[in-house]
Amino acid sequence: MTAATLGTAWALDWMARAAKVVSANRIELIELDRAIGDGDHGENMDRGFTAVTAKLADARPADAAEVLKTVATTLMSTVGGAAGPLYGTAFLRGAKVADGELDAAGVAGVLEAALEGIKARGKAEAGEKTMVDAWLPAAEAARSAAGSGAGPAEAMRAAADAATAGAEATEPLVATKGRASYLGERSAGHRDPGAQSSALLLVAAAEAAEAQA
């Protein structure tokens, strides 16, 4: 049985799993970014989450919000390119609404806040072949799950599955935002690296939620 709410232990486990999955997929993210960007996304993300792991190892966060805030500030200071500010803003906005222990509605609220942060920082909308194309369906799926009476782990799994599908769905899109937009029609046929890393992180969050007894 999974926990009725998610808190500090979940957030810490999420970040530990995130660091591992980013490291394991570093080369894939580099190759995805090399096709339509400048090729540094995997390296930047790996460096960022390695720093997050080190920072949290010395921290005693009081709650999930404090974990997410630490992640935000660490990513902003260590991840280069567009990803640092975008992910930093996402986690910072999420931290602001992560009030105490999170039920399914709380999970949805965190994801919605993160999405709005990404949209505001990147000035991007759905369908433009960006991280938004993973985070938007994730937030919608979590809110739908919460509305149907699901627990927080189920809401997080619904979000992760939707994000994974959303990342896959960026492949045929023509990029109209970010560096990939410079390629125009040639950006079609490639998965967006930011959407893919977003999906990986949300799957890690779901696995951490499901591991909470």
Specify if 62 maps to a domain: yes
Specify if 33 maps to a domain: yes
Give the pLDDT of residue 174: 78
Specify if 139 maps to a domain: yes
**Residues forming a β-bridge with 53:** none
Give the pLDDT of residue 82: 87
Specify if 40 maps to a domain: yes
- Answer whether 0.85 is exceeded by the pTM: yes
Give the pLDDT of residue 176: 80
Specify if 178 maps to a domain: yes
| CATH number where 36 lies | 1.25.40.340
**The two structure tokens encoding residue 88:** 């930093």
Specify if 3 maps to a domain: no
Give the pLDDT of residue 1: 54
Q: Residue 103 is part of which domain span?
A: 8-210
Query: 150 with 143: CB under 8 angstroms?
Result: no
Specify if 171 maps to a domain: yes
Query: 25 with 42: CB under 8 angstroms?
Result: yes
- The Cα 155–Cα 29 span in angstroms is 26
What dihedral angle (degrees, nearest 10) is formed by the CA atoms of 57, 25, 175, 165? Answer: -90
- Name every residue whose Cβ is closer than 8 Å to that of residue 24 and which is 6 or more positions away in sequence: none
Give the pLDDT of residue 37: 84
Specify if 41 maps to a domain: yes
Domain count, the chain: 1
Q: How far, CA to CA in Å, does 100 sit from each of 8, 13, 66?
A: 9, 17, 10
| Three-state SS sequence of 15-69 | HHHHHHHHHHCHHHHHHHHHHHCCCCHHHHHHHHHHHHHHHHHCCCCCCHHHHHH
Q: Mean pLDDT in each 10-residue stretch from start to end of the chain (213 residues)?
A: 87 98 97 89 97 95 97 94 94 96 98 98 93 98 98 98 98 79 77 96 98 83
3-state secondary structure of 141: helix
Give the torsion sign (CA, 152, 156, 159, 161): negative
